[in-house]
């Protein structure tokens, strides 16, 4: 009897995962690790000295960035202002253009299937192209300056915004719209009293969210000559003027955090 009890306590609880899942997970894990090791091998095969020397080198370079040279803050402020202005203009234009685009790619508004399908595909393709690649293209077409940067931001944010808003429109409660139509409202009244009140808070929130994305994006657009603060940063790094570069990075950091904080507060108040 005592022997039997002992046996019972020794027996381990059966695993909650079936054996098949276990082998599957092991194989996937093995594949992921193998692919990782191969990726790392490929990533550093052109590097001189390997990872070990890179880490020591990293430290010695990072030290050069400090202390930051705060005397240049007033000189970089105009460029920072330009960056923010680019993001504001781009977000505004995108928010206006997105309305028809989102309506046409919402399943419950664009009831004609091919239209819905064409606009959806168009938006999906638009969203695959990174913002900076668009900027490179537009700089090639329109020359260096603010304009290609704004254009790149508009196209890029249009893809995100139209998708988010079309999904909001699809989730709208259709009953109020039908009720207004049934009591004799025309299409314009249906939209302005039925659809707009339901979509407006989400719309504003998404526009602010895209504005945050645009601020981050416009910070780096200057690297390819599309205006904003990135150009100065690129120049300072190119001149090995690391304290100045660090000041620019700190300014970017502060502005991004401040704008995100404000926009987060507004969005919380909205929804």
Partner 1 sequence: MSTYNLPPKPARSTWKKIKTILITVAVIALYVWTFLGINIDWGRAIERAIKNFGIVLPKLFSPDWAALGEVSEKILETIFIAFAGSLMAAILAIPLGFLAAQNMSGSRFVSGIGKWILSGIRAFPDLILAILFVVAVGPNAFAGVMAIAIGSTGMLGKLYSEVVESIDMKVVEAMEASGANKIQILFHGVLPQIIPEFLSYAIYRFEVDIRASSILGIVGAGGIGLMIMFAASNRNWNEMGLILLAIIVVVTVIDFFSAKIRRKIV
Helix (H, G, I), strand (E, B) or coil at 241: coil
253 binds partner 1 (CB under 8 A): yes
96 binds partner 1 (CB under 8 A): no
197 binds partner 1 (CB under 8 A): no
**Token pair 């000295």: residue:** 49
Structural Rg of the chain based on CA atoms: 27
| Candidate residues 223, 243, 263, 267; the one interacting with partner 1 per rule CB under 8 A | 223
Round to whole Å and give the CA distance between 138 and 141.
5
Contact stretch for partner 1 (CB under 8 A) within 172-180, 182-190, 197-205, 229-237: 229-237
Helix (H, G, I), strand (E, B) or coil at 30: helix
76 binds partner 1 (CB under 8 A): no
Task: Please report how close the Cβ of residue 234 comes to partner 1 at its closest, in angstroms.
Answer: 8
Containing 267, the helix (H) or strand (E) segment is helix 242-270
Round to whole Å and give the CA distance between 132 and 153.
9
Helices (H) and strands (E) in the chain, counts: 12, 0
Q: How far is CA 37 from CA 30, 34, 46, 80, 185, in A?
A: 11, 5, 16, 40, 64
27 binds partner 1 (CB under 8 A): no
158 binds partner 1 (CB under 8 A): no
CB 119 within 8 A of CB 104: yes
Containing 102, the helix (H) or strand (E) segment is helix 73-104
Task: Please report how close the Cβ of residue 111 comes to partner 1 at its closest, in angstroms.
Answer: 26
x/- map, 137-156, partner 1, by CB under 8 A: x-xxxxx-xxxx-x------
36 binds partner 1 (CB under 8 A): yes
174 binds partner 1 (CB under 8 A): no
260 binds partner 1 (CB under 8 A): yes
Interface contacts to partner 1, rule CB under 8 A: 32, 35-36, 38-40, 42-44, 46-48, 51, 54, 57-58, 61-62, 81-82, 84-86, 88-89, 92, 124-125, 128-133, 136-137, 139-143, 145-148, 150, 216-217, 219-220, 223-224, 230, 233-234, 237, 242, 249, 252-253, 256-257, 260
């Amino acid at each position: 009897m005592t022997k039997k009890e002992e046996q019972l306590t020794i027996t381990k609880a059966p695993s909650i995962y079936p054996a098949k899942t276990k082998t599957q997970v092991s194989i996937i894990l093995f594949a992921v690790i193998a692919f990782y090791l191969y990726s790392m091998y490929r990533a550093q095969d052109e590097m001189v000295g390997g990872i070990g020397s890179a880490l020591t080198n990293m430290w010695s370079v990072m030290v050069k960035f400090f202390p930051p040279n705060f005397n240049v803050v007033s000189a970089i402020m105009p460029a920072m202002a330009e960056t923010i202005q680019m993001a504001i203009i781009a977000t505004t234009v995108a928010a206006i253009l997105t309305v028809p685009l989102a309506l046409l790619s919402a399943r419950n508004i664009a009831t004609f299937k091919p239209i819905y399908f064409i606009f959806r595909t168009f938006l999906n393709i638009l969203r695959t192209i990174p913002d900076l690649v668009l900027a490179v293209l537009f700089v090639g077409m329109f020359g260096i300056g603010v304009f290609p940067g704004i254009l790149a931001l508009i196209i890029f944010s249009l893809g995100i915004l139209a998708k988010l808003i079309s999904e909001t429109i699809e989730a709208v409660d259709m009953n109020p719209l039908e009720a207004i139509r049934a009591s004799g409202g025309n299409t314009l009244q249906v939209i302005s009293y039925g659809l707009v009140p339901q979509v407006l808070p989400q719309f504003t929130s998404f526009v602010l969210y895209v504005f945050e994305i645009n601020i981050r994006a416009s910070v780096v657009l200057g690297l390819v000559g599309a205006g904003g603060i990135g150009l100065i940063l690129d120049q300072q790094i190119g001149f090995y003027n690391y304290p100045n570069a660090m000041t620019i990075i700190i300014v970017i950091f502060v502005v991004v955090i401040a704008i995100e904080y404000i926009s987060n507060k507004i969005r919380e108040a909205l929804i």
